[in-house]
Structure 1
């Protein structure tokens, strides 16, 4: 039976293009946020200040988004303990990733950070007891091989501490993803984002009492710019997922490596080396293969589900 398009509705391809556009702009903002925070750290901003501005600016933006969309009541929760755990993991991830960003060239830090999907696969087996087939295990192996090549442990020009911090941040980011997947069964996206930003703002706000210091106006401007672009990226990311499937928009996340490399060249006159380029290609291939495999499994599961009549 032919389906009649509802008046005023857009074709599916239009929604997909809109989602891709939103996701692509979000990725640019994420790259700008990373560059601003790294630049601010070179101007004397502490790690605590980076985390605080990322969270404190994101909190009112999240509240505004809730007020205009699902409503402030969306923050109500029946699982405060789960939110506390997710927020703690998220704070560890944000802190570790920013510490790595302060120590590594921006392109290398962003590239290594994209190892999170490989860690997420490992954690989904250990925590959620998901079954992972040979295709996804192969993708995990390829992803970690890419990280190994970027890190180039023999004769590496990259600080070992920066590599370790970024890998810890990627692992914590994967743990947060797994936690969110489990929480999403009963919690709204708005409540998860709100309680994370609130928790991080409060904790880093206490830290600001001890680690905040006077800075030149340019450093303060960079911190504020980093917070604004990070909040804008989060909103665009959320909207992209509302209008298009994750399997359509997720591959465009990896363009952040290109933008990071461009910003690294424009601001710091550094370009990623051959190792970074090869490792990035492997990490991207690993992430895309994992996303495609999960998309196919989801489609098969939907196809196997009998329709409700």
Structure 2
């Protein structure tokens, strides 16, 4: 486990990331649905942030945790806000431009970027198990989405949308390391609160240029999107408090199952037969990394006990 991680608890981190993956898949589905009903990307990002700010502030007030918001790292929170909002535009842009499953699949290149960044920036040693899990998980993605990437009858995907998706994946990996750094000194409540507080007023300035009237049903979709965003933000931030970014990003592969289901049930895109071949590989990658992380955690604990003895 990377030494920069606060309170290493690998299984808790993996569980939180699994929950975050399902919530983010639901969020992406709602973004795409709202976009098809006429909501602009900028407006959706604003409502996602503003509703999250309201929800997080209400929770903090109800739980009496305002003390958790104290910080001496406003500059770091500001940088995280800039990167976070930029990343959201690319992530949601890919969702709008591409079919839901394809956008989700491209986002799965984030672990590759995370591993590369870990090696280049932090000189982290990446062993064969982590590389193997990354390869196994991505093999599952390729098997599942093979026709959509031009190897089958359905042809390839939009190159511009694919480029947006790849940039989004890189930003997801980079932001994960930002969050790891903030988690050294900040609580998850503080990280989410300052992110939304810094970004919401700036995004509000764009509303007069992008807002259009919506139906009651569309507003309900936008509201649900914002609530999913608030929950996902907390789950993501908490997961990075307890686990290494290069590892727990692998759990994001499970979002493909949700995206496939939503594509079929909401947008009328039937799942391909490749789902039943790719899904076991994706799940196997998660099981492999969980087993390896447990072994490393136990070894570190034993070494500390030996050193103290």
Same fold judged by TM-score > 0.5?
Answer: yes
SS at 2:185's partner residue?
A: coil
Alignment of 1:268-279 (within 5 A): 268-273=267-272
- Distance change in 2, residues 1:295/1:49 (3 Å): farther
1:31 aligns with 2:25: yes
Q: 2:149 aligns with which of 143, 149, 152?
A: 152
Q: Deviations over 1:133-163 (max 9, x none)?
A: 2332344445555666646256743212222
User: Hey, what's the Cα distance between the residues in 1 that align with 2:258 and 2:92?
Assistant: 17
User: Hey, what's the Cα distance between the residues in 2 that align with 1:102 and 1:60?
Assistant: 25
In the TM superposition, what is the alpha-carbon distance from 1:221 to its structure 2 partner? 2.4
- Distance change in 2, residues 1:285/1:94 (3 Å): farther
Residue of structure 1 equivalent to 2:227: 228
Residue of structure 1 equivalent to 2:3: none
When structure 1 is superposed on structure 2, of 223-232 and 279-288 the one drifting more is: 279-288
User: How high is the TM-score relative to the length of structure 1?
Assistant: 0.78
Residue of structure 1 equivalent to 2:36: 42
User: Hey, what's the Cα distance between the residues in 2 that align with 1:144 and 1:27?
Assistant: 16
Residue of structure 2 equivalent to 1:59: 53
- Distance change in 2, residues 1:232/1:285 (3 Å): same
Residue of structure 1 equivalent to 2:110: 116
User: Hey, what's the Cα distance between the residues in 1 that align with 2:25 and 2:193?
Assistant: 23
Residue of structure 2 equivalent to 1:167: 166
| Matched-pair contact (CA < 8 Å) for 1:118–1:287 | no
Mark the runs of 5 or more structure 2 residues left unpaired by the alignment.
Answer: 1-10
Residue of structure 1 equivalent to 2:86: 92
In the TM superposition, what is the alpha-carbon distance from 1:56 to its structure 2 partner? 0.7
Q: Deviations over 1:194-221 (max 9, x none)?
A: 1111223122212223222223333222
Residue of structure 2 equivalent to 1:259: 258
User: How high is the TM-score relative to the length of structure 2?
Assistant: 0.78
Superposition RMSD in Å:
3.5
**Number of aligned pairs?**
289
- Distance change in 2, residues 1:123/1:23 (3 Å): closer
- Distance change in 2, residues 1:146/1:86 (3 Å): farther
In the TM superposition, what is the alpha-carbon distance from 1:45 to its structure 2 partner? 0.9
In the TM superposition, what is the alpha-carbon distance from 1:177 to its structure 2 partner? 0.7
- Distance change in 2, residues 1:254/1:136 (3 Å): closer
Residue of structure 1 equivalent to 2:99: 105
1:195 aligns with 2:189: no
| Matched-pair contact (CA < 8 Å) for 1:27–1:256 | yes
- Distance change in 2, residues 1:288/1:53 (3 Å): farther
Mark the runs of 5 or more structure 1 residues left unpaired by the alignment.
Answer: 1-15
- Distance change in 2, residues 1:133/1:194 (3 Å): same
In the TM superposition, what is the alpha-carbon distance from 1:48 to its structure 2 partner? 0.4
